[in-house]
Amino acid sequence: MAKVRTDDIIKELKLELISGEEGIYKPITTTDISRPALELAGFFNYYPAERVQLLGRTEIDFCGRLTATERMERMEKLCDPATPGIIISRGLDIPEELLIAAEKHSVPLMRTTMKTTRFSSKLTNYLESRLAPSTAVHGVLVDIYGVGVLITGQSGVGKSETALALVERGHQLVADDCVEIREEDEEVLIGTAPELLEQLLEIRGLGIINVMTLFGAGAVRPSKKISLSIHLELWDDHKHYDRVGLDEEKIKIINTEITKLTIPVRPGRNLAVIIEVAAMNYRLKRLGVNAAQQFTERLTQVISGENNLD
């Protein structure tokens, strides 16, 4: 199923549909937008027909300087059956030849009152968000002190209960059970909840609760950039767990690597506090304060001092 169709941008950006209504369900497959300057001059050798075509004041003025025959010929070529839509900015008047060609080839012809550059920016941002590579992860996403923390682990390990404790401590829930992740830019992962699960949290023995209803609007947020992944697993006495924090493990989601911490779970451990501290420690590391590194340097100095005394 297409992620974005022409009909979607008409609704999202409040465009006026002028002609070519039969083609409004065409898929939009690229975030690139075309300003057909060379094409209007007659050069169609590399015409990117699969892109949304945007005509501003310059293009419309140039069209007015063409002969009627040239205009008709170029409008016909511009309205390629593969083109998802042609948009006129600034509320400009549309050439009659373009109206005829758009209706003939079922290419949606739309108009906006926005300036060309501003509209191009808004449309690009919308398409990049909707067409970004995406995946879904079984887990919980919480905003802790501004750090988007993705909590993963086997079913029943305590992810949702930990999220509930974090919300109670003043942090914000983004998604529970299923986290939809989009790579909106290079090394930028944005997590959201599926529409069906927004603001909901499932607690075994209690059932489904609405976090916003119980804790207020400040306890939830619609999306968050994911910076840290914390994997919960049952404590294994035979496994070695990091006790210093010098080694930084990474996990790759789509094409982006983020820091991953593995936290063992057993009775008596306050996971909410541990994850809260992990988020604060992550922020400190990004600010250049690394407690593990400082401890190692102190230890090295102590050992060096003892060696010098010998």
**Binding site for Mg(2+): what residues are annotated?**
160, 202
The answer to whether the beta carbons of residues 26 and 17 sit under 8 Å apart is no
DSSP state of 15: P
Task: Please give the annotated binding residues, written as ranges.
Answer: 153-160, 202
Q: How many residues does the chain have?
A: 310
Binding residues for ATP: 153-160
Q: Which residues pair with 179 in a beta bridge?
A: 137
138 catalytic? Reply is yes
- Among 243, 247, 252, 266, the active-site one is 243
Backbone φ and ψ for 199, nearest 5 degrees, come out as: 70, 5
- How far from the centroid of its chain's Cα atoms is residue 93's Cα? 36
Number of other residues whose CB lies within 10 A of the CB of residue 11: 10
Q: How far apart are CA 267 and CA 102, in angstroms?
A: 67
Helices H / strands E in the chain, number of each: 10, 16
5, 159, 171, 182: which is the annotated catalytic residue?
159
Phi-psi region for residue 169, left (φ > 0), alpha (ψ -120 to 50) or beta? alpha
Q: Identify whether 159 is a catalytic site residue.
A: yes
Closest of 91, 86, 98, 80 to residue 123, by C-alpha: 86
Which residue among 143, 177, 221, 231 is the active-site one? 177
Query: Could you tell me the CA-to-CA distances from 147 to 4, 190, 226, 245, 249 in Å, in that order?
Result: 30, 12, 7, 19, 17
For the stretch 68-73, contacts whose Cβ atoms lie closer than 8 Å and that sit 24 or more positions apart, written own/partner, are: 68/97, 70/42, 71/95, 71/97, 72/97, 72/100, 72/101
The conformation of residue 241, written as its DSSP 8-state character, comes to -
Q: Of 118, 109, 147, 94, nearest to 20 (Cα)? A: 109
Q: What residues act catalytically?
A: 138, 159, 177, 243
